[in-house]
Structure 1
């Protein structure tokens, strides 16, 4: 084949053996930005989340394309600026696009620097979009007889497909060729320009033909052939509205065609010959990753020249090749940090025979470490049915064991028989009882470590089948210990962050909304890909993250505060707590009647009826008609009616007070009395909450489905709800609550002599504080004086301001400021503690609890002064609240064995921050309370010897409220 014509630079472009890959870098950037949580560089707070995500994606691509048959030339194409030649054609082109997010703007230049550091050419051109440059280079390669792979899934680029040009979506590992375009849009790639001209683009403000969507456009083009013919014969269209639209907007449609058409003759800034694939310069890459503080990525990248451990036959991503069988690897030591292999979900095994399952069990036993995951037909571990489980013994080496899959029921044919459905077809799988009998020794084998992601759920599911899984590691909790507060710890997010891999979404196998089906009805092939991938990802994450615990000196934190919690919580969730459904129904009825009375009163005060549940109507009445002071409109143009606004107005106006009371009852009714009735098991009348271990950066647990941690304690309605939580016949509930644990921790951490002395003497701490501040004796102290000291005591822990204290106590700001000033004068150690913490968090970006848990505070390096102040307040509180959370975790992990050692049947049911709730036989309640107090009060030992005693209030009663 002859050489191509010289390029504008005078350098000849390569001939037909070119295999050019063009990365749509702008799409990469925004996908990385939106896929990952905000991340800042620890040293200076610079936003780098998009850069890190981009680097992970780019490195993954560079690994996968290695080898014979991969690209010969590679470039990343960027948008240079927003204004292009299209703005001269149509001034409003892209006019409605919002500006780039503030924290993304400084990352654009860093992404370009990253691209160069990885040895990839960066190409951009003023006045042209990246898509035009991609089109230009693709056309050049095509005209020279070469091939082009466009790394993108952007529909705007699909018009280029054909003649040696394909697209590849790396997130879905899918080739987009002619068939894919036809499947998605109903037209071939050569018709995409005409289709887009008709449909328009609201994002880019391409007008198109109003009211014509992709399906209609495809239908019209299929009937008339092309856009010009369609517009010329528009008068023949039978539908009046469609005919008029095309006739009236013909010029607008033609303009839209100009706007969406990519040009193939843009002045190419560099010849394709300059894009020859090369390894990155190891020193340059290492320096960039070090500057960005991407140390995990730096370890994976090494010198930047590593080839994937499992390349496809011709070096390309698997989507560009015929499927191949995945080679099996001998297990490697967990501490060996290698670049993870590429993912091939088609290579996972579906285990459907006893012999094959035995082979996997033998391999897992030999490996000593196996990733393990369950698939179920519901979210609640206490009631979900087991559909199957997956195992992974090495990266890429995973299987799925279906147990109870069945075909979706089909309606009787003919449409006349309504008596029932045809029975589901039998699926070839191992009977569940036989499979679990074989798996039980493995899952309970103390010599084999079972690794899971949020393994608490799997422990609970398997416990219902009489399998006690252990020992365990949890990748979610390892990540939580390493970077609590930096990002989320769900599997998909961790996979994107650390492996550069987008796992198969659940909705892609089960659907969404009304069409969503049970995992039990998913066909075995997609079920295997989805389930085995979960185990595969989990094992890779474990191999990568577990060694970092030692590197960061956080092994003790993980082992003493996290590792034992999944088993404890799984048992608590399975046990549940009994409720009185009749009492809950009566409360719902009473709340409903009271809400109706409040609604009637609100209408009377307003002078007319309105929807009390509508913030818009409330705002219109209070600020538009009644002209109450302080009204502010939100970004949507509506009056703001949040709780803070209503509480301020309620001091002098009745309507906001009535609305607040109505909202409180509505929340209690909807969240508790109605929801608990629905959530209670119809046989045992027990509700089973679900605890989240990695929800709060401080170590506090969260509760959901239903949430049992936010029931009001001090209000009468909250007490009524707690009275509906009852013990089983012959049993009592025990509530054990730490007394003022956070103030005690503050006294210890801040070394406050006055507070420590008061706690040791067993004094009323709030009265003692008031006596110290205001110089009044404890005896005979007024309740108001004590109340003010209490507000300051607790407010100081959360960094309360004079304004906040004034609002809470109903006093002037100056008086509140004087109280705070006096407080710090009487307790100077607290100010010293606060100043020390502020300095530490600004330098390190995190604070630590007494037990060594790291709590990262990203806001401390924010450009926003308000966010930095928030970060300072969070940093002051975090070691206190976090230490309290650590202490109760230590108590919870010790409690089951302590109770069992005394031969007690008492069971732990709930954790509500500083409180534990138990159910015990009446006859052993006193003994149980003694053990519970002993374990809780000594929970910090021997790791920490607190300078103030921990005190636990515990009592037993027939319901939760009376026990509290």
Structure 2
């Protein structure tokens, strides 16, 4: 039996906040799942149950109204995950149970007693709550999680006696005497665990102790016991697990056997649990229905008949990184027929090349950017693309877990093409089958694009998404392809020198750390570091892991003022990560022929419309440390007489919020060029401008951006290192100061309930089916998403629109300048020095006029001989 609430809580607080590509928090689900898999694999149970608390109120509240009264409200980031945990259990066919007025402990206690005594079963209970130790018996053991989630200590009767010196039944008496702050059980003042155990060894139970108070040694202890007799009895009663819950679960419902592997796999995919997916050795071919055969021709030559003015084409590249990857083959479908074209034939054909670059020959495709780049490296220009099924699907349903051709077709009710994994396999088993199989698969994919185009276009029109698709995302996908092929030149020698410099700094820091610690040890070994910090230097242990005391960054930061060695260790780690992840990592991906880095921009990934960057992620180079900022020195123009020009939007999301919320105070602050965080601090703290301190401004800034990202009191408290109560009060004062923002939040949630979706100013949609859910947690998440998506999504749309407009303007002006990168709200260009004056005028003008708001968009720019100098 698993104590559902306890394990979920443990998982949530043991793991960092994780979320999937839809922004749904998943750390508690992930931790819970690893525990469940551990139980299934190691215990191989015949029967399995997960018990949950049904609500906040139980029969114990009649005895003591303040029971569990001191507990903080469950963080919404955790609450949202309980429905997913229940969904996960259903996928595994694990019985879950809860009953009004009782706690999970009571369900577990009742069933443990029944099946161990009546059925003679052996029972093992998994929990993080020591209270359950009272259930330990000859047939019942309890596995308690240590700090973290993966390791447990298993208690039988002998181990309980060894650990505490009392038997399992006396655990209740121990809790009665010492109380339990986490459950707000009072106990007897002045009695802790050691004293309670000592008294129980002498007297046996609370009742016998109270009958023999005169025999207790110690005046103060005797007084406390005398004055708190009723509290001791009540506390024992509150701590006692009730084993007579009216449960009517047929034993066969507890049987654990086969589960729906496909449901589990689908859920893991949805939650982005790749590491857990890898534990399943499944064959995708078994999951795909047989697709009907399709007539097609394998080309012996490329003729004009095959290349019409309206065609669908797939250019198949299997590698995730499609830069200079092998093209498996091509397929073309049009009114004249369906054709498979071997790669070598296409590359060698002037007829194909002329058709490919003919802008008048309109081409429908899936993933235009991938095709443009892959063919571009082979010397083939692909122009005339006027429809991309991938982009259209993403715009129509950004929350879809997959936009693969087969998945899109399946959602349209058409089973006309197989999943790629059914053809090529997965992971280590991935391979290219015979040509005939590949040819048919590619033709089916091209045929799917050709077949679905009209229906998808009608859907775009019906949903008022034509402008977003045709005027923004379609031009952008070609621009991104050109940016990727252009790449960013890297000074490899400078990167190497930076690596050497960091290596020297790390050596010096190592010596300094050894000197400060008074001993030589391996700083990169958590075990050795822990021994030095917590045993030799006697620093307080703040958190434990399965291997011992934690030396994680958050722990070290809290210990920074406890010993002078800690800041040096933190600096050592930061420099080590810079060296391994960024210096060495970037050197590995510099293209040997171009001396450039060719990143990939993900256009159809985030639900807000934001672009992301991979292989490598150039949006994530750390700039908080000067050593991190210096990495940008290695990013230089393609030519010596060119410069790097960087322009970024200032506080774009807050400006969008001011417009959408129509908040007079925010609008006034931006229109008068006032620092928005200072203005927020003035309004929230009710002080004049001169009285705003750095701390006030920092708190105001955190709330400003927290509002944009839908932060909760829990999230803000973690960000600022304050209590949740203080954070909640801060958010409330903010909303009082900016009533327009509060009205916007209320109105947008209501609009989402009525429509089922929210939109950006450029009509990008995000569907929120959970907005009307009866489940409070799902509904709360949808409400917060409704509030922040229009803001984040509009900011994303604005910078995309700026990219499209700038590309058009550069072409119209006949400039050589090239757009290289988009990093959050920033655009990076390279250009000849003689074009600098033009860029100073054009770039801010185009970016600031990308959209008309009630407040001005403000763009700041800089330039220099490297990306570093342009900042």
The TM-score with structure 1 as length reference comes to 0.56
Q: 1:752 & 1:875 partners in 2: Cα distance?
A: 18
Match status 1:896 vs 2:810: no
Is 2:406–2:415's contact at 8 Å kept on the other side of the alignment? no
Please say if 1:358 is aligned against 2:304.
Answer: yes
- Shift of the 875–650 alpha-carbon distance from structure 1 to 2, 3 Å rule, reads farther
Which string of whole-angstrom CA distances, capped at 9 and with x for unpartnered residues, describes residues 676-731 of structure 1? 21212234321111000011100000100111001123431221111221123100
Partner of 2:405: 491
Give 1:531's aligned residue.
442
Counterpart in 1 of 2:341?
A: 401
Give the superposition deviation at 1:580.
1.2
Indicate the SS of the match to 1:669. helix
Taking structure 1 as reference, are residues 640 and 452 closer, same or farther at Cα in structure 2, changes over 3 Å only? farther
Q: Distance in 2 between matches of 1:502 and 1:627?
A: 62
Offset at 1:351? 1.1
- Post-superposition CA distance 1:216-240 (Å, at most 9, x none): xxxxxxxxxxxxxxxxxxxxxxxxx
In structure 1, what is the equivalent of residue 381 of structure 2?
A: 467
Q: Is residue 291–residue 417 contact of structure 2 (8 Å, CA) maintained in 1? A: no
| Secondary structure of 1:961 counterpart | coil
For the 8 Å contact 1:459–1:566, the answer to whether it is kept is no
1:840 equivalent in alignment to 2:840 = no
Aligned to 1:200: none
- Which of the residues 467, 485, 503 maps onto 2:418? 503
CA contact (8 A) 1:681 1:687 kept: yes
Q: Tell me how far apart the structure 2 counterparts of residues 659 and 713 of structure 1 sit (CA, whole Å).
A: 19
Q: Is the 8 A contact 1:350 1:524 kept in 2?
A: no
How many angstroms apart in 2 are the aligned matches of 1:629 and 1:860? 43
- Given candidates 883, 886, 891, the residue that maps to 2:797 is 886
**Aligned with 1:691: secondary structure?**
strand
- Measured in 2, the distance between the counterparts of 1:512 and 1:106 equals 28
Q: C-alpha separation between the residues in 1 aligned to 2:667 and 2:566?
A: 43
User: Quick check: 1:481 aligned with 2:465?
Assistant: no
> Is the 2:366–2:405 contact (alpha carbons within 8 Å) kept by the matching residues of 1?
yes
Conserved in 2, the CA contact under 8 Å of 1:394 and 1:539? Answer: no
- 5+ residue gaps, structure 1, are 1-36, 41-90, 110-261, 263-318, 320-340, 405-429
C-alpha offsets along residues 817-867 of structure 1, whole Å, 9 cap, x if unaligned?
443333222211111112223333345443211111112346656777555
Does the CA contact (< 8 Å) of 1:485 and 1:857 recur in 2?
no
CA gap of 1:911–1:654, structure 2 versus 1, over 3 A, is same
Do 2:649 and 2:860's aligned partners in 1 also have CA atoms closer than 8 Å?
A: yes
| Deviations 1:253-283 (CA, angstroms, capped at 9, x unpaired) | xxxxxxxxx9xxxxxxxxxxxxxxxxxxxxx
In 2, the alpha carbon distance for the partners of 1:382 and 1:586 equals 27
- Over aligned residues, Cα RMSD in angstroms? 4.1
1:289 is matched with none
Name the CA shift for 1:542/1:656 in 2 (closer, same or farther; >3 Å): farther
Which residue number in structure 2 is paired with residue 697 of structure 1? 607
Instruction: State the SS of the aligned residue for 2:786.
Output: helix
Q: CA deviation at 1:673?
A: 1.2
- Cα distance in structure 2, aligned partners of 1:762 and 1:951: 10
1:381–1:574 contact (8 Å) kept in structure 2: no
- Residue pair 1:444, 1:467 contacting (<8 A) in 2 also: yes
Report if the CA contact (8 A) 1:476-1:489 is conserved: yes
Whether the 8 Å CA contact 2:491–2:634 is kept in 1: the answer is yes
Q: Are the equivalent residues in 2 in contact too, given 1:495–1:503 (CA < 8 A)?
A: no
Q: Does 1:588 align with 2:523?
A: no
User: Residues 635-650 of structure 1: matches in 2 within 5 Å?
Assistant: 644=554, 647-648=557-558, 650=560
What's the secondary structure of 1:564's corresponding residue? helix
Q: 1:686 aligns with which of 596, 615, 626?
A: 596
Q: Which residue in 1 is equivalent to 2:197?
A: none
Q: Quote the Cα distance in structure 1 between the aligned partners of 2:689 and 2:45.
A: 73
**Structure 2 CA distance for aligned equivalents of residues 866 and 615 of structure 1:** 37
In the alignment, the residues of structure 1 paired with residue 788 and residue 760 of structure 2 have an alpha-carbon distance, to the nearest angstrom, of 10
Distance 2:299 2:551 in 1: 57
- Alignment match of 1:433 (pick from 340, 345, 348): 348
Say whether the 8 Å CA contact 2:398–2:766 is kept in structure 1. Answer: yes
Residues in 2 aligned to 1:812 and 1:957: alpha-carbon distance in whole angstroms: 44
Match of 2:316 among 368, 371, 375: 375
Alignment of 1:419-818 (within 5 A): 430=345, 432-434=347-349, 437-446=350-359, 448-464=361-377, 465-498=379-412, 499-500=414-415, 503=418, 505=420, 509=424, 513=428, 523-595=434-506, 628-631=540-543, 644=554, 647-648=557-558, 650=560, 660-727=570-637, 728-778=639-689, 782-811=693-722, 813-818=724-729
CA separation in 1, counterparts of 2:372 and 2:342?
18
How far apart are the structure 2 equivalents of 1:791 and 1:743?
12
Q: Deviations over 1:505-537 (max 9, x none)?
A: 368548854x877x6xx6532331343233233
Tell me, yes or no, if the aligned pair for 2:644 and 2:865 is still in contact at 8 Å: yes
Q: How does 1:53-202 map to 2 (within 5 A)?
A: 102-103=86-87
Q: In 1, are the aligned partners of 2:291 and 2:415 still within 8 Å (CA)?
A: no
Secondary structure of the 1:352 match is coil
Partners of 1:868 and 1:611 lie apart in 2 by 49
Q: Deviations over 1:772-812 (max 9, x none)?
A: 33344435854344333323322222233445444444455
Q: Distance in 2 between matches of 1:616 and 1:860?
A: 47
- Does structure 2 retain, via aligned residues, the 8 Å contact 1:389–1:401? yes
- CA distance, structure 1, for counterparts of residue 409 and residue 49 of structure 2: 31
The question of 1:930 aligning with 2:837 is answered: no
TM-score, L = length of structure 2 = 0.62
Contact 2:292–2:416, Cα closer than 8 Å, also in 1: no
Contact persistence 1:697–1:856 (CA under 8 A): no
* Structure 1 residues 622 and 830: alpha-carbon distance in aligned structure 2, compared to 1, 3 A threshold: farther
Is the 2:539–2:562 contact (alpha carbons within 8 Å) kept by the matching residues of 1? no
1:603-661: CA deviations, max 9, x gaps?
7888887766567887898789968454265xx89877765555455565777766654
What is the CA-CA distance between 1:955 and the residue it aligns to?
A: 1.9
- 1:910 touches 1:918 (CA, 8 Å); kept in 2? yes
Residue 735 of structure 1 contacts residue 954 of structure 1 at CA under 8 Å; is this kept in 2? yes
Give the match's secondary structure for 1:681. Answer: coil
In 1: Cα distance, 2:815 partner to 2:91 partner? 59
What is the alpha-carbon distance in structure 1 between the residues aligned to residue 517 and residue 471 of structure 2?
A: 58
Note the 1:410-425 alignment, pairs <5 A.
Answer: none
The 3-state SS of whatever aligns with 1:963 is coil
Please give the secondary structure, in 1, of the residue aligned with 2:474.
coil
Offset at residue 400 of structure 1 (A)? 1.7
Which residue is equivalent to 1:171?
A: none
Work out the CA distance in 2 between the residues paired with 1:358 and 1:850: 44
Q: CA deviation at 1:388?
A: 3.2
> CA 1:640–1:539 in structure 2 vs 1: closer, same or farther (change >3 Å)?
farther
SS in 2 for 1:947: coil
Contact 2:864 2:870 in 1 (8 A): yes
Indicate the residue corresponding to 2:861 in structure 1. Answer: 954
Contact 1:758 1:765 (8 Å CA) reproduced: yes
Structure 2 counterpart SS, 1:837: helix
Cα 1:627–1:861 change in 2 (3 A) is farther
**Structure 2 CA distance for partners of 1:744 and 1:346, relative to 1, 3 Å:** closer
Cα distance in 2 between the residues matched to 1:579 and 1:670: 17
Deviations 1:182-229 (A, max 9, x none): xxxxxxxxxxxxxxxxxxxxxxxxxxxxxxxxxxxxxxxxxxxxxxxx
CA distance in 2, matches of 1:556, 1:455: 18
Distance 1:883 1:622, change over 3 A: farther
- Once structures 1 and 2 are overlaid, which stretch shifts more, 818-827 or 927-936? 818-827
- The secondary structure found in structure 2 opposite 1:399 is strand
Tell me, what secondary structure is at the counterpart of 2:869?
helix
